[in-house]
Amino acid sequence: MEGVDYLADERRKAEFDVNEMKIVWAGSRHNFELSDRISKLVANDPGFSKEGRTMLPRKELFKNTLRKAAYAWKRIIELRLSEEEAAKLRHFVDEPAFTDLHWGMFIPAIKGQGTDEQQKKWLPLAYKMQIIGCYAQTELGHGSNVQGLETTATFDPQTDEFVIHSPTLTSSKWWPGGLGKVSTHAVVYARLITNGKDYGINGFIVQLRSLEDHKPLPGVTVGDIGMKFGNGAYNTMDNGVLRFDHVRIPRDQMLMRVSQVTKEGKYVQSDVPRQLLYGTMVYVRQTIVSDASNALSRAVCISTRYSAVRRQFGSQNGGQEIQVIDYKTQQNRLFPLLASAYAFRFVGEWLKWLYTDVTQRLQANDFSTLPEAHACTAGLKSLTTTATADGIEECRKLCGGHGYLCSSGLPELFAVYVPACTYEGDNTVLLLQVARFLMKTVSQLGSGKKPVGTIAYMGRIEHLMQCRSDVKQVKDWLKPSAVVEAFEARAARMSVACAQNLGKFDNPEEGFAELAADLAEAAVAHCQLIVVSKFIEKLQQDIPGKGVKQQLEVLCGIYSLFLLHKHQGDFLGTGYITSKQASLANDQLRALYSQLRPNAISLVDAFNYTDHFLDSILGRYDGNVYPKLYEAAWKDPLNQSDIADGFHEYIRPLLKQQLRTARL
Amino acid sequence: MEGVDYLADERRKAEFDVNEMKIVWAGSRHNFELSDRISKLVANDPGFSKEGRTMLPRKELFKNTLRKAAYAWKRIIELRLSEEEAAKLRHFVDEPAFTDLHWGMFIPAIKGQGTDEQQKKWLPLAYKMQIIGCYAQTELGHGSNVQGLETTATFDPQTDEFVIHSPTLTSSKWWPGGLGKVSTHAVVYARLITNGKDYGINGFIVQLRSLEDHKPLPGVTVGDIGMKFGNGAYNTMDNGVLRFDHVRIPRDQMLMRVSQVTKEGKYVQSDVPRQLLYGTMVYVRQTIVSDASNALSRAVCISTRYSAVRRQFGSQNGGQEIQVIDYKTQQNRLFPLLASAYAFRFVGEWLKWLYTDVTQRLQANDFSTLPEAHACTAGLKSLTTTATADGIEECRKLCGGHGYLCSSGLPELFAVYVPACTYEGDNTVLLLQVARFLMKTVSQLGSGKKPVGTIAYMGRIEHLMQCRSDVKQVKDWLKPSAVVEAFEARAARMSVACAQNLGKFDNPEEGFAELAADLAEAAVAHCQLIVVSKFIEKLQQDIPGKGVKQQLEVLCGIYSLFLLHKHQGDFLGTGYITSKQASLANDQLRALYSQLRPNAISLVDAFNYTDHFLDSILGRYDGNVYPKLYEAAWKDPLNQSDIADGFHEYIRPLLKQQLRTARL
């Protein structure tokens, strides 16, 4: 900050207590203080500077990330940070690195799938980073379908070892982050074969590189898979390729919590229920939903601030042009994304609770809520990541031409975010899993089995199939009950319609395949209902702070009425609302935009992002955009000299008509 | 190609003559032969290799583009290529470069806005590239609103010169391609001031750099604006920043076709009608629509071929998994994009005709069709570029994880394409221009003035406001008349509804601002109608070749019924169709997907793209994807050594717990 706040006028307009909203956004005062402290610590440390990141060639970029990761670990030790603080620090360093997989996948895999003995052996090494691990699951030819993996782990009772092997080219491990150049170890997923029988996919701890000189061990071929989308983005990560040529590991490096192979080569299931593994999936997807609100809020923060700085058209007499944030078309694209960021925040918070609940039940051997929790997290992962990826790009477009510059921060944010639509379950595949759950629920409605949790509304199916919206005027759309019933009726009717159409097929699987697109739409309707409901439930809590709750009500209204407008076809088609009522909803939506407008800047300030974290000239807190854009331009390598490198060889011969003899 | 065609089975399935379709796609046998010959010439010339492009640091990337541009010009001279052939060659070199602006903007600006004398002086220099020019319009603070530009050109009668000056930071020219490091000249747009009066924006030819040593001339500050979205993408282009400190140019470097300044400093309008300038706009936007079909078809070609190669799930007994192209969810996302590529092709072709028609009329002083032509090209530019940008990213997602690799070609294609949504008229701003035209048309309906061209349907407004779809069964949706009427009724009703709502405001401008989002939707409905109609009109022509017309009918059905489904809310909300009819349309759409499926690969083969042009391992003609992905990975700079650069400094100290003493 250099003194002048060009957005001060905007900040003065706010009708609520920004500091209280910061706490709501963070989830608790503790979270707020933690994030605030650690983000500033990172922002103020030149060791974590992001300067020039998008201009570095791959090798330098990667080396710089190695440096940052080591430096972060050094600071974590020096400052004696707790595990929670250390995780926050890595988050605010904000650069994908091998450490993400080490802490986020390798360690949890051992914790979740290793026996107590295995945990005791491996975790201390991993916690001190004496070994660095990654998670080697996907293969060149196999992604979503884990059961199709080809890598084999064949037990050899002679030596009490597994032989890990890549039998085909398509069985090459492909994509695991941290694998290419850094990891010394990996949890490798392979088909367990013993006594000539294939027991399906299991995890194995395999050492890949020497702990002394880091050379790949004999039989291990390992490398980076090459450049990915974006300038910096995930190119800081060594996503890797890995092949095994009959690599031997001791039997006790099979992760044996759920199933074991004995010395004699007998495959035995333990008494630990397999469902426990689903708990991990719920956990991972829950964090993905939180990450979605992080990423979307960053993009929205940049775009909202710049929309208040940018002026265009509308000056009649040489005066200032209009701030683009005042255009309804801008609001109609931007404000629903701002509302979505908040909506995803709250549904993410609720998912954390759900995870705790599921975990407790699993420990008590109660698996009853697992299918619902699984469908719900799968669906929300799909919904929020799709909306966030699209939303970031929309925010970029909302910044006009300048959003295309790397210095806007938005190209990087997009490129680094989009993989979320594909990893941990492809978003379309996940929607179909939700749809299966919905169809199963519908088919059991007559059975007396009461649907629970997020699917409880199906228990009121008779009402939901018949009811009609009683909205008569614009303001009726502010009633939470009117909104929730609309989303429930739409979701229920779409599911039932799919179920009826499925019934027309002799072979249900064939029907499911044929109607997949409709089923995916029904799943989206169900998931949107969840987000809307959780937002409304949040508002039923006590929320302190002047004007805070009112602002959230406006955001909730925008989120739900925007969806209602966008998916008008569903609501009209299922007959729950009339086109008159749809048009009233749209009028209400417009009115909410006007209510939001004066609070927009403060609502993004509430995310409490440092300029370091945003890394965007357009999104600067002080709004001092143009001088800084101008300044930044001169740092490009092309500006190191007035005359371009290549002028003498390629431009001069052109201008001088001497191309015929030029060597090109 | 290395012999084996892994997609041969797919190609055998085709039910139409691919070679005839290639001619339909190209627009004529002449166009096909030209593109075929030139694209192969480029593909077979190692001087145009794209190898390693995404891995080069900025300076090397840029230098390599300078080399290619010079080499292309050399080949053009050596081969004595015609202007048409030369343009094709530059197209197939497929790398944004300063030459795009020199040929595409600088020369046309002089041709369009220069007097005969000026053309005689400047064009020969430009045609031989003895000078290199760009088009300096947008400024740091000013994009869409050309009238808001701040650069001044003040006439000094003492010396008979204009003084070009950048009075503020925000008046810095910003974005022009070719400006930063290459151009010796620019057409600069500035406020013409003479005798103390501001006459608004005019163009001026300004020399920026010495023709000898390429140094910026005194008073000229010029440079590159820095890194942009994507790895290679537009980073091969020197988008520039430019400031003038009282730079003097002779009076005759003002482009004087439409208005002049006399020696005495008098501002005079010529008798050349200003409307002629709109002709250029129609031309430029027409080429953008063609480019949209080029870009979308490339993405679709990659995604379709890889969808036939990729297999996932569905194997019950260890057999091969299912090709992902056989999944209805994949088809429902991919096939409408394939249909859109064809739809945009044909509407682009029709726009070429429209441009010729407008030009002839303008020459005959007939300006009557100009507003309609202007609205139509503005709207189609917006519609097709938005759909293409989104479509490319969707194609990338349809390739799963591997689409995220640069070697898929899709990240580059996206990053290089998205600016089209912003340049030459921001897509939202353009839609509002269309909406203004629609509202004007509606308001004049009673006046007896008959709407013509693409808006002619408004002449049947009474019928269109009342009629209802007579579709009774699935196959009724194959009738062109049923489809066209549906799109006409929807567009007409949305426009009329907007006009009625506008009528409720005392101040029409206020109403227009308030209802902008609805107005933009009405504009989209109008533009979609144009694309659908032009596709259907195309099918009413005689189209030779076995099965060719049938395939196009399937594509046209998919395009229109997909839109109908996507915008169901409009069709239902305006009361033209019932939800039963909407559901029949959806059934028909699904049936069309099945009809398309066996022809999918051949329909993308018909684009006749070389592997060089596609530059995508996933989109290889022969489908030999996995070995080539594996091979390409090892070329990454990170794989130059087994041990990562940085291991000794940053990884070893981690593993060995020696961080405390490490220098980081």
Per-residue pLDDT for A233 more than 50?
Answer: yes
| Nearest residue of B to residue A648, measured between CA atoms | B213
Q: Do B636 and A223 touch (CB under 8 A)?
A: yes
Mutate to test the interface with A, among B474, B589, B636, B658 (most CBs of A within 10 A): B636
CB-nearest to A70 from B223, B418, B653 is B653
Per-residue pLDDT for B283 more than 90?
Answer: no
Q: How far apart are CA B123 and CA B114, in angstroms?
A: 10
Per-residue pLDDT for A648 more than 70?
Answer: yes
CATH of the domain spanning A101-272: 2.40.110.10
pLDDT for residue B1: 43
Q: Do A148 and B312 touch (CB under 8 A)?
A: yes
| Contact status, residue B143 vs residue B223, Cβ threshold 8 Å | no
**What are B387-443's pLDDT values in tens digits?**
999 999 999 999 999 999 999 999 999 999 999 999 989 999 999 999 999 999 999
Q: pLDDT-based confidence at B446, cuts 50/70/90?
A: confident
Count of helices and strands (H, E) across chain B: 24, 11
Mutate to test the interface with B, among A404, A515, A521 (most CBs of B within 10 A): A404
Which helix H or strand E contains A203, and what residues bound it? strand A197-207
Encoding tokens for residue A37?
């402290």
Per-residue pLDDT for B377 more than 60?
Answer: yes
pLDDT for residue A660: 83
Which residue do the tokens 């008349």 mark?
A: B481
Averaged pLDDT, A402-414: 98
Q: Do A633 and B241 touch (CB under 8 A)?
A: yes
Q: Do B419 and A404 touch (CB under 8 A)?
A: yes
Contact list in A for residue B419 (CB cut-off 8 A) is 401, 404
Q: Do B639 and A223 touch (CB under 8 A)?
A: yes
Per-residue pLDDT for A663 more than 90?
Answer: no
**CB-count burial class (<10 Å; 0-12, 13-18, 19+) for B427:** buried
Contact list in A for residue B570 (CB cut-off 8 A) is 568-569
Q: How far apart are CA B518 and CA B524, in angstroms?
A: 10
Q: Which of B551, B552, B557, B490 is nearest to B525 (CA)?
A: B490
Contact list in A for residue B238 (CB cut-off 8 A) is 638, 644
- Between A133-147, B38-52, B113-127, the lowest mean confidence (pLDDT) is in A133-147
ipTM value: 0.97
Report the share of chain A in percent with pLDDT over 70.
99
Q: pLDDT-based confidence at A2, cuts 50/70/90?
A: low
Chain B: closest CA distance from residue A365 (Å): 31
Contact list in B for residue A524 (CB cut-off 8 A) is none
pLDDT for residue B320: 83
Choice between A364 and B118, residue whose per-residue pLDDT is larger: B118
How far apart, in Å, are the Cα atoms of A135 and each of A143, A203, A246, B104?
13, 9, 19, 50
Q: pLDDT-based confidence at A346, cuts 50/70/90?
A: very high
**DSSP H helices in A476-545:** 480-503, 508-514, 516-539
Mutate to test the interface with A, among B56, B229, B306 (most CBs of A within 10 A): B229
Q: How far apart are CA A310 and CA A199, in angstroms?
A: 61
Mutate to test the interface with A, among B63, B428, B655, B663 (most CBs of A within 10 A): B655
**What are A469-498's pLDDT values in tens digits?**
999 999 999 999 999 999 999 999 999 999
Encoding tokens for residue B549?
């017309």
Q: Do A241 and B633 touch (CB under 8 A)?
A: yes
pLDDT for residue B530: 98
For A220-237, letters b (16+ CB in 10 Å) and e give bebbbbbbbbbbbbbbbb
Contact list in A for residue B182 (CB cut-off 8 A) is 644, 651
Amino acid, res. A295: A
Averaged pLDDT, A598-616: 98
Q: Do B328 and A145 touch (CB under 8 A)?
A: no
Q: Please give the annotated binding residues of A, written as ranges.
A: 138, 177
**What are A94-128's pLDDT values in tens digits?**
999 999 999 999 999 999 999 999 999 999 999 99
Q: Do A77 and B660 touch (CB under 8 A)?
A: yes
Chain B: closest CA distance from residue A515 (Å): 7
Contact list in A for residue B77 (CB cut-off 8 A) is 659-660
Q: Do A148 and B518 touch (CB under 8 A)?
A: no
Chain B: closest CA distance from residue A364 (Å): 34
pLDDT for residue B318: 63
Q: How far apart are CA B552 and CA B111, in angstroms?
A: 39
Q: pLDDT-based confidence at A564, cuts 50/70/90?
A: very high
Average pLDDT, chain B: 96
| DSSP states along A21-52 | HHHHHHSSHHHHHHHHHHHHHHHT-GGG--TT
Question: Number of A:B CB contacts under 8 A?
Answer: 398
| Contact status, residue A33 vs residue A42, Cβ threshold 8 Å | no
Q: pLDDT-based confidence at A318, cuts 50/70/90?
A: low
Contact list in A for residue B637 (CB cut-off 8 A) is 57-59
Per-residue pLDDT for A205 more than 50?
Answer: yes
CB-nearest to A66 from B568, B574, B646 is B646
State the pairing for strand pair B152-156/B185-194: parallel
Q: Please give the annotated binding residues of A for FAD, written as ranges.
A: 138, 177
Active site residues of A: 424
Encoding tokens for residue A261?
């192979």
pLDDT for residue A144: 80
Q: Where are the beta strands (DSSP E) in A11-156?
A: 133-136, 152-156
Q: How far apart are CA B54 and CA B232, in angstroms?
A: 5
Angle at CA of residue A505, ends A500 and A508, nearest 5°: 90
| Nearest residue of A to residue B423, measured between CA atoms | A401
Averaged pLDDT, A568-590: 97
Q: Do A227 and B407 touch (CB under 8 A)?
A: yes
**What are A71-86's pLDDT values in tens digits?**
999 999 999 999 999 9
**What are A369-384's pLDDT values in tens digits?**
899 999 999 999 999 9
For residue B638, give every residue at least 6 positions away whose Cβ sits within 8 Å of its Cβ, in sequence order, or none. Answer: A58, A59, A62, A180, A181, A223, A224, A238, B644
Q: Which of B27, B644, B650 is nearest to B350 (CA)?
A: B27
Per-residue pLDDT for B277 more than 90?
Answer: no
pLDDT for residue A274: 78
Chain B: closest CA distance from residue A205 (Å): 18
Contact list in B for residue A649 (CB cut-off 8 A) is 66-67, 70
pLDDT for residue B386: 98
CB-nearest to B636 from A211, A227, A401 is A227
Average pLDDT, chain A: 96
pLDDT for residue A317: 61
pLDDT for residue B62: 98
3-state secondary structure of B172: coil
Active site residues of B: 424
Averaged pLDDT, A18-26: 98
**What are B220-262's pLDDT values in tens digits?**
999 999 999 998 999 999 999 999 999 999 999 999 999 999 9
Q: Do A513 and B407 touch (CB under 8 A)?
A: no
Q: pLDDT-based confidence at A314, cuts 50/70/90?
A: confident
CB-nearest to B569 from A215, A321, A572 is A572
Q: Tell me the angle at which helices A548-566 and A328-363 cross, rounded to the nearest 10 degrees.
A: 100
pLDDT for residue A277: 75
**What are B308-366's pLDDT values in tens digits?**
999 988 766 667 889 999 999 999 999 999 999 999 999 999 999 999 999 999 889 89
Predicted model pTM: 0.97
Per-residue pLDDT for A278 more than 80?
Answer: no
Count of helices and strands (H, E) across chain A: 24, 11
